[in-house]
Structure 1
């Protein structure tokens, strides 16, 4: 949430401390309430109204969600209005708290200090020049691609190839921009971020902002958590980590030869994710929820592509062009994002601290001009997960301080070369497949 993210009582509220109901963690977990800054909130009814979705909120019930809460929200005044109506008490101080919980609390306090440091360094302040130039490249590349199609169509295959490359790059880079807008890190105004998000992901890319937010925030809140992170919900096709492959293997289940998934993964998920799976999921999401406003933005994309390419290529050739662009865009997306997550720990939600959770489930890729551009600065995946609302051009500035905190608590900070990160996708799939195979054949 950045600035002003402190919900503790002030001196006046301390006078009524005796009237505040105190609750034990055992009761909080049983009732499935949420704790933020030691205050307890009953979100059972509010969860259906939560902008991030009911599932996102329910994934954090019975836990201390302070760091997740402060990391996702920017408009503190608006959020506090909802919190006041939901508050039911405070967490009682338990004398039998173990050493592990004390260490967790100490890490939480240090991470809050790190957030304050980032705030003092103005790292949550976006650069208008950076994002203006980023948006300009989308327009330029899209115009070049369109011009080349109009100039030669299919007649000149080299020109057509360059046109496709321009259009693919437009879509990939638009993906990074919509990602920033979805995290409210481009404009100071939340409303402006939301509006621009729909323009980019809807009119330029042909997908839904609501669908993306619903899916992506669940991933951020519980990365690589089995049954909670939608980005790893494809156990019918692939098995990740060490625990799930062993469980599935012992149950003698196996839809596919998972011991070969390191080979068929690269020919199945990357080419199908955006052109098929994401498109189908978006359509189902919008239809079931009757999101007509979101459909309008996707309609603008369809109309735009129709008038840009159908007059010169025809309807079927335009559909083929779109599929081809999405095909290569999908490889780009998978390669840039999953090398930072798939090789990391995949397990059930352990209710660890926010800081530790992000460090064991994400890794970085070395900084360079190319790596920054091609991945949309998601080569700083660790810092992005710790500070989702921080503009990506500032992530490298907080990285040294994150490393220091990791050293203090003995937490591994992984930063790989691009080649090593790519090979690790193969290696982790191979290891998980072997675990399943051994358990299956016991």
Structure 2
């Protein structure tokens, strides 16, 4: 679990910005907001399963899989906020609710994901330390492309075109990684994590195969998990993909490391809800324990401050953010195509 950001100096530039943010009261908790948001999401979750039961053994269940995938991702956003202690100040309630909605609710390992995500926050877009840019199937830099072998090397040639199709497998990847983490002795609360993961899939698969015939059940699984993965991947892709990749030779202070590797996505209330307010990625990376609804109020303060100290601050539209990310992926694989 990440420790909350304090106002101690992380470099003088960040310390001055932190004082501005603190003076504006933007690090204060928002209990009413999160109580309402959690209630609405859980009500929608229950409503989708009630609709699933009511529709019964019908191909119309393919349509039910769509809102259920959206709700699964929205629960993932709430688990993300809990992991950063945006909801509760202390660890215990954050862990309890996170385990219930993460492991039991959507089948994603709370402990594993938090450890991985905190490593990303510590060194965003650093090819040696950020697990989100580790070369697996996708490669993120020309150096990684040159070193790639086997499947990653084959995929890298056309990875810009394959990126969204590959996201249909992302949810399965996260489920498998959650179970694999249980074999790691450093994983905390392994019995609890494992029991809740098993309970999720027993209930999830049990409900699907109890209501649907085997063929319809398999189609429902493919559509639901595929859309769940695409939605999750599509909310994280605009944030860092296509931004500078750091190496051990880059020596940046905390503020520049977070701002220069992040991209904001402009938009109104719809974009905020769609992306779980992670469209304010710069502000989130500077102040990860800031409650999500406060990020939009911090944005003009951070942007103006970056202009004052001469730090590049990138904000773009949603479609353009995908374009930038995909163009970067295509450029990375250029040498392999020739």
- TM value normalised by structure 2: 0.89
Cα RMSD of the aligned pairs, angstroms, is 2.6
From 149, 159, 168, the counterpart of 1:261: 159
- Which blocks of at least 5 consecutive residues in structure 1 are unaligned? 1-51, 53-71, 77-104
Instruction: State whether structure 2 residue 277 is matched by structure 1 residue 347.
Output: no
Change (3 A) 1:423 1:293: same
Greater shift in the superposed pair: 177-186 or 109-118 = 109-118
From 138, 159, 181, the counterpart of 1:238: 138
2:103–2:110: 8 Å Cα contact kept in structure 1?
A: yes
Instruction: State whether structure 2 residue 237 is matched by structure 1 residue 338.
Output: yes
Change (3 A) 1:173 1:301: same
Distance 1:355 1:136 in 2: 35
Change (3 A) 1:118 1:150: same
1:145–1:162: 8 Å Cα contact kept in structure 2?
A: no
From 145, 156, 174, the counterpart of 1:278: 174
> CA offset at residue 319 of structure 1?
5.8
2:283–2:299: 8 Å Cα contact kept in structure 1?
A: yes
Give the 3-state SS of the residue equivalent to 1:187 in structure 2. coil
Change (3 A) 1:318 1:129: farther
Q: How does 1:70-109 map to 2 (within 5 A)?
A: 72-74=2-4, 108-109=11-12
Distance 1:385 1:140 in 2: 30
Deviations 1:292-313, CA, capped at 9 Å, x for gaps: 1111221332343256444322
Distance 1:145 1:375 in 2: 20
Corresponding residue of 1:42: none
Q: How does 1:179-258 map to 2 (within 5 A)?
A: 179-235=80-136, 237-245=137-145, 247-248=146-147, 255-256=153-154, 258=156
1:174–1:205: 8 Å Cα contact kept in structure 2?
A: yes
> CA offset at residue 243 of structure 1?
4.3
- TM value normalised by structure 1: 0.69
Corresponding residue of 1:311: 210
Distance 1:204 1:400 in 2: 35
From 269, 274, 278, the counterpart of 1:378: 278
> CA offset at residue 254 of structure 1?
7.3
Greater shift in the superposed pair: 202-211 or 308-317 = 308-317
Deviations 1:57-89, CA, capped at 9 Å, x for gaps: xxxxxxxxxxxxxxx42398xxxxxxxxxxxxx
> CA offset at residue 153 of structure 1?
2.2
Distance 1:372 1:358 in 2: 20
Instruction: State whether structure 2 residue 26 is matched by structure 1 residue 126.
Output: no
Distance 1:293 1:227 in 2: 31
Give the 3-state SS of the residue equivalent to 1:379 in structure 2. coil
Corresponding residue of 1:66: none
| Larger RCO, structures 1/2 (Cα 8 Å, 6+ apart) | 2
> CA offset at residue 232 of structure 1?
1.2
Distance 1:428 1:295 in 2: 38
Structure ID, larger Rg: 1
Distance 1:436 1:348 in 2: 22
Corresponding residue of 2:259: 359
Greater shift in the superposed pair: 211-220 or 347-356 = 347-356
- Which blocks of at least 5 consecutive residues in structure 2 are unaligned? none
1:365–1:416: 8 Å Cα contact kept in structure 2?
A: yes
